[in-house]
Amino acid sequence: MISRGVRLGSVFLSQGRRLFHSSLARNSTDHHAELLKTPLDKVRNIGIIAHIDAGKTTTTERMLYYSGVTGRIGNVDEGDTVTDYMSQEKDRGITIQSAAVTIPWNKHKINLIDTPGHADFTFEVIRSLRILDGAVTIMDAVAGVEAQTEKVWKQAKELNIPVVAYINKMDREGAGFGRTVKEIVSRLATRVVLVNVPYFVKDNSTGQMIFEGVIDVFDKKLLIWNNTDLGSDGSKVNVIDISNESEHPELYQQVLECREAAVEQLGEFDENVINSFLETEDYMEVPANTLKNALRQACISGFATPVLCGASFRNIGVQPLLDAVNDYLPSPLEISVPEVTSSSIHQTKTKKRKQLQASDTSLPVKMDNRVGLVVNNNLNLMTALAFKMISHPIRGIMVFVRVYSGKLQPNSTVLNSRTGEKVRIGKLLLMNADVPQEVKYLSSGSIGVITGTDQIVTGDTLIGHSLSKNTNQLSPKEQAAKLLPIKIPPPVFSVSIEPSTVSDNRKLTTCLDTLLKEDPSLHLSYDEDSGQNILSGMGELHLDITKDRLINDMKANAEVGEVRVTYKETITVPTGVFKSNTGDGFEVELSLESFEGPVEDLELPDEGVYYLEQDDNVVIVEPSSTPEPVRKALNAQIWSLPMSYETMINGILSGVNGALQVGGQRAKLPLHSIIVRIHKWTILTDANSISPLINSTRTTIMDALSSLDENSTTLLEPVMKVSVYVSDQDLGLVTQDLMSARNAKITGIDDEASTSNNESLIWAKEQAEKTYIPHDPTLMYMKTAQASGNKVVGAEAPLREMIGYLIKLRSLTRGRATYDMEYLGMERTAPDRLRKILDQ
């Protein structure tokens, strides 16, 4: 144990340059010019992801302060942080929307996104992860690895995003660094390398261990913050060299053990580490740079996770975390390639992708392995992905984009490869939370904002030319390039929404339209029976915040009903082939069928498959259905018809979507899990409007649907994957309640550890056994969160039966058990449940 009174070394200022002391860098051209000049290898596009309340916003505030972007540290509990700037965020002390800030640190530019932790805002996390190159995951040292940590970790790993782990709240009673490290290995199934470990000092009067700093394993230094002489904002760090064993025997021993573990772990990955060790056979002599370089590559390739610790609220440990972002997370030049496709629809080849959702049936084209994509090696090709859109009361529509290659110029024209339309770009901005800076261009690797257009939605790919302000020089293949679209999770809760009076209708419609464009995880449908609009979202909190924004911020006069579960309809028998008879120049022959299980598991043909954005519906345009004139035009050198092929197909898809959203025969609910087959279509060669395509397709589907009687349709309801953390003594009661009162199917009862599959679970457990973990001097305190749970009950249950479950679970187990759940899919309801649901 280390007692107070170690000799203190020299005092130094934090490494960041204190550029701006009084406020955010408002319109500072110097600041902006400096950031724009940062070479790409010194740019980091990262996100902070974690379970709710782990300390993401608190840590981001310190990062902004130590780098000099802000002059004071904001506090979540007082509602004055930079990134939680929405009124709902300030009032509730939680992050709702991801905010982007730019942090200069040691000649690097860190573009950082603070994401929400609550499961209802998962879409915010998903869309942010899509455009990030790396992430910091923050854990609460008392709670350890929590449910949402596992979820966001999995999402990051699916996208090959390297992660640095930061164990926060080391100052709390019951904090366990070693225990949390072990959980990282066993639950997240990763190898770890400890970059720093906690340093405690015993308070002789209370006997308590006080967290005062961190031990830097590679540089063999002790960093102390909490010395009262040094002030308390944490910007000054006391650095003590601990490389001399006789001066600091205990600290030396601690570093030696950590270095031994690091050398052994990294040696498996990089032989430079082994060679360097063999030169002296002394773990303390392996140069810090050799270890850091190896860990950088190990982290980027997903071999191991660097782990650090701190207590952001107490201003301890944040500067080393910023260093770690620069040291271990990739620049835009080092990222794995975002998937790029060309949507030349007539040559489509469907790739079965778990993540795929939008109508993206496309041919992979040549990709550059550094900057995302270069079609035909055109280095001037600009590609950007729109990942977020907000409607600002003063600045108008703001579209957030990540540029993957080339340069995006203001006042230029780019192509939206989803719609095929040319889009006029206005000003370009860099954002620091809600403070904009106008810029002369956005270069590859940048995250910025486009203004002046409403022709872009979340998930669109923009294609342009870096040198020219128009799109004339782009080849057809380049024009059709697309980055993989962003998956939108299905909304499972709904509320009815009506204008308070007839005259409030127009304003309500406009406000809802804005909210839906901003947040694609919201969905609006119309219930013909009740004449009400139905707004659906990810959860009760999501809808509550939306209501708050609608009524309090946007001042819409509306009546919002109670939150209820979203149901869908599907057909149980296929329809015959139906032919349109609208006589408006477009004819179509189609049939409908349905499927069970996830859409990703469907065996589909190689060509002509389109996934609709909503409700897991699929359209198959049979290749033989293409009309002769269109086929001829596709094979010709120059396109000869007034409308492009993409536009025609989009017309058909809109018609399908429109009809399926109107609802089925049973309860007029939107249809789900439907396959629409287009057997034949014809179009006049001089047709130049898509309305007939939309109308004919729509009415033909409605005819097909109305040919089915009520008994040929059924309801689908959301089913959740539930994990209940419970002690042995409560196990029986909890499983009994799940099965009888909640209609749940028990899928397994395990020891508390929940990696996704057995193989990785076994690997992770073995790995955890052999991972070096420093002794926790705080182990005398019990872990409070989830302390009771040493069993995990896995179950699948209808969402409807899980509403209010926490209260029931707490009362069954006297507050000892906890649970979490995530959306599994829509399932057909059993006949007895169907009646019950319809009656209600």
DSSP annotation string for 414-471: EEETTTTEEEE---EEEEETTEEEEES-EETT-EEEEES-SS--TT-EEEEESS-SSS
Q: Is 118 annotated as a binding residue?
A: yes
Contact between 44 and 108 under an 8 Å Cβ cutoff? The reply is yes
DSSP notation for 605-663: -SSSEEE-SSTT-EEEE-GGGS-HHHHHHHHSSS--SSS-HHHHHHHHHHHHHHHHHH-
Q: Between 65 and 681, whose beta carbon lies closer to ligand GTP?
A: 65
Residue 393 to residue 411: CA distance in whole angstroms: 22
Considering Cα of 312, then 317, then 321, then 322, what sign does the dihedral take? Answer: positive
Selection from 455, 394, 399 nearest residue 422 by Cα: 455
Distance between CA atoms of residues 183 and 192, nearest Å: 11
Instruction: Give the residues across from 592 on adjacent strands.
Output: 676
Does the annotation flag 55 for ligand binding? yes
Q: At closest approach, how far in Å is the CB of 777 from ligand GTP? A: 18
Q: Which is nearer to ligand GTP, 116 or 267 (CB)?
A: 116
Residue 170 annotated as part of some ligand binding site: yes
Length reported for the chain: 840
Q: Is 51 among the annotated ligand-binding positions?
A: yes
Single-letter code of the amino acid located at 13: L
For residue 38, say whether it is annotated as part of any ligand binding site: no
Smallest distance, Å, CB 67 to ligand GTP?
Answer: 17
Residues 6+ away with beta carbon under 8 Å from 539: 119, 120, 492, 493
For ligand GTP, the closer of residues 91 and 769 by Cβ is 91
Cα dihedral across residues 774, 780, 784, 788: positive or negative: positive
Q: How far is the CB of 587 from ligand GTP (least distance, A)?
A: 54
By CB under 6 A, name the binding residues for ligand GTP.
50, 52-58, 76-77, 94-95, 116-118, 168-169, 171-172, 311-314
Question: In which residue are the tokens 């319809």 written?
Answer: 838
Nearer to ligand GTP by C-beta: 149 or 617? 149
Q: How far is the CB of 171 from ligand GTP (least distance, A)?
A: 5
* Cβ-closest position to ligand GTP: 117
274 marked as binding residue: no
How far, in Å, CA of 98 to CA of 114, rounded?
5
Q: Does 813 belong to an annotated binding site? A: no
Q: Which amino acid is at 682?
A: T
Buried b (16+ CB within 10 A) or exposed e, 204-243: eeeeebebbbbbbbbbbbbbbbbeeebeeebbbbbbbebe
Q: What is the nearest approach in angstroms of ligand GTP to the Cβ of residue 89?
A: 8
Q: Which has the closest alpha carbon to 454: 507, 512, 386? A: 386
Q: Is 171 marked as binding a ligand?
A: yes
Q: For ligand GTP, which is the closer residue by CB, 95 or 416? A: 95
Query: Minimum Å distance from CB 198 to ligand GTP?
Result: 12
Task: Name the nearest CA neighbour of 98 among 510, 512, 447, 513.
Answer: 447
Flag whether 481 is marked binding.
no
**139 vs 222 by CB, closer to ligand GTP:** 139
Q: How many CA atoms lie within 13 A of 373 on its CB side?
A: 28
Q: Is residue 53 annotated as involved in ligand binding?
A: yes
Q: Rank residues 38 and 312 by Cβ distance to ligand GTP and give the closer one.
A: 312
Distance CA 8, CA 229 (A): 12
426 annotated ligand-binding residue: no
Of 35 and 318, CB closest to ligand GTP: 318
Smaller CB distance to ligand GTP: residue 54 or 522?
54
State the minimum distance, in angstroms, from the CB of residue 57 to ligand GTP. Answer: 3
d(CA 624, CA 647): 19
Q: How far is the CB of 314 from ligand GTP (least distance, A)?
A: 6
679 annotated as ligand-binding: no
* Positions at the binding site: 50-57, 114-118, 168-171
Annotated binding site for GTP: 50-57, 114-118, 168-171
